[in-house]
Structure 1
Amino acid sequence: MNTSDTLSLCEQIISRKLITGDFLVIDFHQAPFGQVNGFLGDHSSLKITIERNSGHEKHTFFIKSIPTVKSQRDFILEINGFFKEKFFFTQFLDLLREHSITVLDDTIPTCYYTDGKIFAFEDLTQSGYTTLSCRSSLDLECVKVALKAIAKLHASAIVLEEKKSFRLIDAFSEELAETFYSDKETVKKAATSYRHGFNAFIDLTYNSRMKTSKTLLREKILEGYDRQKQFVKPSTTFRNTFLHGDLWTKNMMFKFEDGRPVNCVLVDFQSHRYGPPAQDVVAFLHLTTDQKFRQKHMEEMLHFYYQELDHVLTGFGLGGIITQDEFSTSCDFFRQFALTQKCIHLQVVALSQEIATELLADEKYAFFVLFENKYDFVFTACEKDELYKKVNFEAITELSQFYEDQL
Structure 2
Amino acid sequence: MSQITQSECSKVISAKLKTRDFKILRYQQIEFDEIVGYLGDHCTLEITILRDNHEETYSFFMKSAPRVPSQRTFFEEIDGFSKEKNFFTKFHPMLKRHNIDIIDDVIPECYLVFDETFILDDLKRKGYVTLPSRSPLAIDCIKAALASLAKLHASGLILEETKSCRLTDEFSLKESFYSGQGSAEQALQSAKGGMRAFCDWAKTDEALKTRIVSGIEEKKTFAVPSSRFRNTICHADPWTKNFLFKFEDGKAINCVTVDWQTYRYGPPAQDVLAFIYLVADGDVRKTHFDELLAFYYGELSKAMGKFGFGDVVTREEFFQSCQYFKQFALTQSLTHFQVVLLSDEDGKELFGNPEKAKSVIFGDDRYEFVQKILAKDPVFRKRVCSSVEELIKLHEEKCN
- TM (normalized to structure 2)? 0.96
**Distance (whole Å) between structure 2 residues aligned to residue 53 and residue 405 of structure 1:** 69
Question: Is 1:355–1:384's contact at 8 Å kept on the other side of the alignment?
Answer: no
**Distance (whole Å) between structure 2 residues aligned to residue 392 and residue 364 of structure 1:** 26
Question: Is 2:374–2:381's contact at 8 Å kept on the other side of the alignment?
Answer: yes
The percentage of counterpart residues that share the same residue type is 45
**Distance (whole Å) between structure 1 residues aligned to residue 359 and residue 168 of structure 2:** 31
TM-aligned CA distance change 1:393 to 1:165, over 3 Å: same
Residue number among 257, 261, 265 corresponding to 2:248 in the alignment: 257
- After TM superposition, the structure 1 = structure 2 runs for residues 160-239 of structure 1, keeping only pairs within 5 Å, are 160-172=159-171, 175-206=172-203, 214-239=205-230
Q: CA deviation at 1:22?
A: 1.1
Question: Is 1:79–1:184's contact at 8 Å kept on the other side of the alignment?
Answer: no
Task: Give the AA of the match of 1:136.
Answer: S
Instruction: Give 1:89's aligned residue.
Output: 88
SS, match of residue 112 in structure 2: strand
Q: CA deviation at 1:365?
A: 3.2
- After TM superposition, the structure 1 = structure 2 runs for residues 325-364 of structure 1, keeping only pairs within 5 Å, are 325-362=316-353
Instruction: Give 2:273's aligned residue.
Output: 282
Question: Is 1:43–1:64's contact at 8 Å kept on the other side of the alignment?
Answer: yes
Q: CA deviation at 1:52?
A: 0.7
Task: Give the AA of the match of 1:152.
Answer: K
TM-aligned CA distance change 1:387 to 1:185, over 3 Å: same
Question: Is 2:2–2:64's contact at 8 Å kept on the other side of the alignment?
Answer: no
Deviations 1:45-90 (A, max 9, x none): 1111111110000001100001122221111010111111111001
Q: CA deviation at 1:154?
A: 0.6
SS, match of residue 97 in structure 1: helix
Deviations 1:111-158 (A, max 9, x none): 001126000001000010001111121111111111111111111111
**Distance (whole Å) between structure 2 residues aligned to residue 153 and residue 163 of structure 1:** 15
Instruction: Give 2:369's aligned residue.
Output: 377
Question: Is 1:82–1:116's contact at 8 Å kept on the other side of the alignment?
Answer: no
TM-aligned CA distance change 1:12 to 1:368, over 3 Å: farther
Question: Is 1:61–1:121's contact at 8 Å kept on the other side of the alignment?
Answer: yes
Task: Give the AA of the match of 1:380.
Answer: K
Instruction: Give 1:8's aligned residue.
Output: 7
Residue number among 262, 269, 292 corresponding to 2:260 in the alignment: 269
Task: Give the AA of the match of 1:333.
Answer: Y
Q: CA deviation at 1:183?
A: 2.5
Q: CA deviation at 1:179?
A: 2.0
**Distance (whole Å) between structure 2 residues aligned to residue 364 and residue 242 of structure 1:** 35
Instruction: Give 1:211's aligned residue.
Output: none
Instruction: Give 2:295's aligned residue.
Output: 304
TM-aligned CA distance change 1:92 to 1:362, over 3 Å: closer
Larger deviation: 175-184 or 280-289?
175-184
TM-aligned CA distance change 1:269 to 1:111, over 3 Å: same
> Does structure 1 residue 19 correspond to structure 2 residue 18?
yes
RMSD across aligned positions (CA): 1.5
Question: Is 1:71–1:368's contact at 8 Å kept on the other side of the alignment?
Answer: no
**Distance (whole Å) between structure 2 residues aligned to residue 385 and residue 237 of structure 1:** 41
Instruction: Give 1:139's aligned residue.
Output: 138
> Does structure 1 residue 401 correspond to structure 2 residue 397?
no
**Distance (whole Å) between structure 2 residues aligned to residue 249 and residue 369 of structure 1:** 22
Q: CA deviation at 1:363?
A: 5.8
Task: Give the AA of the match of 1:350.
Answer: L
Q: CA deviation at 1:368?
A: 5.6
Query: What is the count of residue pairs matched by the alignment?
Result: 398
TM-aligned CA distance change 1:368 to 1:129, over 3 Å: farther
SS, match of residue 265 in structure 2: strand
SS, match of residue 26 in structure 1: strand
SS, match of residue 138 in structure 1: coil
Question: Is 1:193–1:372's contact at 8 Å kept on the other side of the alignment?
Answer: yes
SS, match of residue 327 in structure 1: helix
Deviations 1:214-270 (A, max 9, x none): 221121112211110011111111111111111111100000011111100000011
Larger deviation: 387-396 or 364-373?
364-373
Instruction: Give 2:99's aligned residue.
Output: 100
- After TM superposition, the structure 1 = structure 2 runs for residues 319-330 of structure 1, keeping only pairs within 5 Å, are 319-330=310-321
- Give ranges in structure 2 of 5+ residues lacking alignment: none
**Distance (whole Å) between structure 1 residues aligned to residue 134 and residue 36 of structure 2:** 13
Question: Is 2:128–2:247's contact at 8 Å kept on the other side of the alignment?
Answer: yes
Task: Give the AA of the match of 2:398.
Answer: Q
Instruction: Give 2:306's aligned residue.
Output: 315
Question: Is 2:68–2:354's contact at 8 Å kept on the other side of the alignment?
Answer: no
Q: CA deviation at 1:364?
A: 6.0
- Give ranges in structure 1 of 5+ residues lacking alignment: 208-213
Instruction: Give 1:113's aligned residue.
Output: 112
Deviations 1:149-188 (A, max 9, x none): 111111111111111110111232xx21212101221112
Task: Give the AA of the match of 1:317.
Answer: G
Question: Is 2:69–2:354's contact at 8 Å kept on the other side of the alignment?
Answer: no
